[in-house]
Amino acid sequence: MSESSTFLYGGNVQANGIRQHYLRFGGNDAGCAARDPVIIVPGITSPAVTWGFVGEHFGRVFDTYVLDVRGRGLSSSSSELDYSLDAQAADLVAFAQGLNLDRYSVVGHSMGARIGMRAAWTRPSGLARLVMIDPPVSGPGRRAYPSQLPWYVDSIRQAIEGIDVDAMRVFCPTWTDEQLRLRAEWLHTCDERAVRTSFEGFHTDDVHADLTQLTIPLLLITAARGDVVRDEDVAEMRALAPHLLHTRVPDAGHMIPWDNEGEFYQAFGDFLGATLPTLATGVR
């Protein structure tokens, strides 16, 4: 660990009946302790470690926890486990309770954003703010999510057998070697049944109905490219939740911080209670 790293440790907590693994950044120093901690919930095939670089940066300002969603990374995974959106949302609430977080903000990407929306719908007492990063807007009677299930399944099966950077580049052609290497190392931890269930849930779970019930502060961050959240989708979401704030990140596809990390952090503004440092300064 470098001297400037904000990484503290990886840990496990028994919450909602399963082992939930997480990475912690920042901690409770004088600055972070004055602000609500942040729980980052990654997407459908993103173990916590793949969001470690984001956790590092958030840790300069906030006590930050990056969660392995059930069926991914080092959290519980089995053929009998419930991988529904409701179970994932209950995990998130129980995770915060298990770590005794009285108040916290959730930053969810893609599937993680939908998990955050469903968790917020249950109105847990400690959830103070929700950031939804490029959430799939598919659902009953809506257009399909633009990515296809075989893209996930084929790459996971190759990762289980052992996949190198060049083979992973076929699936993620715009990524750097470093990004590809990390995905190649960890993708095998994504349970195929978990991914299938979540992908199917993108088309059967009605998160727009959840959105109408959310009263906490909401921020929607979307990608300028990728067709996951279109302008008309943003308009509909703001009609359902008029207090929703929105920012589009230019020059970025669905994996926004991979494509335009600097402007990704700027998109948060002071929504979480403090601004994130620019990449140029990188200091608290």
pLDDT of residue 281: 45
Residue 225 lies in a domain: yes
In the chain, the number of structural domains is: 1
Residue 150 lies in a domain: no
Residue 277 lies in a domain: no
> Is the pTM here over 0.75, yes or no?
yes
The CATH number covering residue 131 comes to 3.40.50.1820
Residue 192 lies in a domain: no
Residue 122 lies in a domain: yes
Distance from CA of residue 51 to its chain's centroid? 8
Determine the Cα–Cα distance for residues 192 and 45; give it in Å rounded to an integer. Answer: 10
Residue 180 lies in a domain: no
For the cut 70, the answer to whether the pLDDT of residue 3 exceeds it is no
Q: Give pLDDT tens digits for 70-127.
A: 999 999 999 999 999 999 999 999 999 999 999 999 999 999 999 999 999 999 999 9
Q: What is the mean pLDDT of residues 131-146?
A: 97
What domain range is 100 assigned to?
A: 7-143+204-266
Q: 246-261 burial, b for 16+ CB within 10 Å, e for fewer? A: bbbbeebbbbbbbbbb
pLDDT of residue 4: 86
Residue 25 lies in a domain: yes
For the cut 50, the answer to whether the pLDDT of residue 282 exceeds it is no
Residue 284 lies in a domain: no
Helix axes 85-98, 111-121, angle to 10 degrees: 70
Phi-psi region of 37 (alpha: psi -120 to 50; beta: other; left: phi over 0): beta
How many C-beta neighbours within 10 Å does residue 222 have?
25
Determine the Cα–Cα distance for residues 138 and 144; give it in Å rounded to an integer. Answer: 5
Determine what percent of the chain is predicted with pLDDT higher than 70: 97
